[in-house]
Amino acid sequence: MGKPSPLREKTSRPPSRAEAWTHLDPQGKARMVDVTLKKITRREAWATGSIRLRAETLEGIQKNEIKKGDVLNVARVAAILAAKKTSELIPLCHPLKITEVEISFSLEKDPPRIRLLSRVQAADRTGVEMEALTAVAAAALTIYDMCKAIDREMLITDIGLLKKTGGKSGTYLRTGSIPPEKVGEHLGERP
């Protein structure tokens, strides 16, 4: 284990804005937080989002009649790749040792939309919230890309964190969200 950064030494004076904000150095420049001394723990995060589309587009996806191919399988692969590449896309994210990525799709007719749900797991020093969110975003963007020739009015909405576990801060569950046991059921996870 390395030494704590001298930039984060405790003082008796109140912290400056740069010191209080974890991703800024004392000069106010962006930096990656040092997580060297944090414990490695099992971490999971669930994220959700939706893409609204025309009824005909939804039906084409359901019947696998979209000319570019199997929309949901391609979106699933995009989600997995995006979760693994999150630290390359989001500047201050740490590269993590992801151990599992799952994404599921719920096709709903009224109103026509696809709800996306991702779950990402890692054993690491920091959480996987950004990876779960990135997985949902990439899957939704892939659906848009594969269907844009027939439906340019698709709308990606409501991307957000549902739940996270692990680490010093413990469990977070978004108020009014899917109960944790239902999140697991939706992904085929056993309680």
Which position has the token pair 């390395």? 2
CA distance 143 to 114: 9
Residues 6+ apart with CB under 8 A from 29: none
- Catalytic, 145? Answer yes
Structural contact between residues 96 and 122, judged by C-beta atoms closer than 8 angstroms: yes
Burial category of 176 from C-beta neighbours within 10 Å (exposed 0-12, middle 13-18, buried 19 and up):
exposed
Active site residue: 34, 110, 124, 145, which one?
A: 145
Return the active site residues: 145
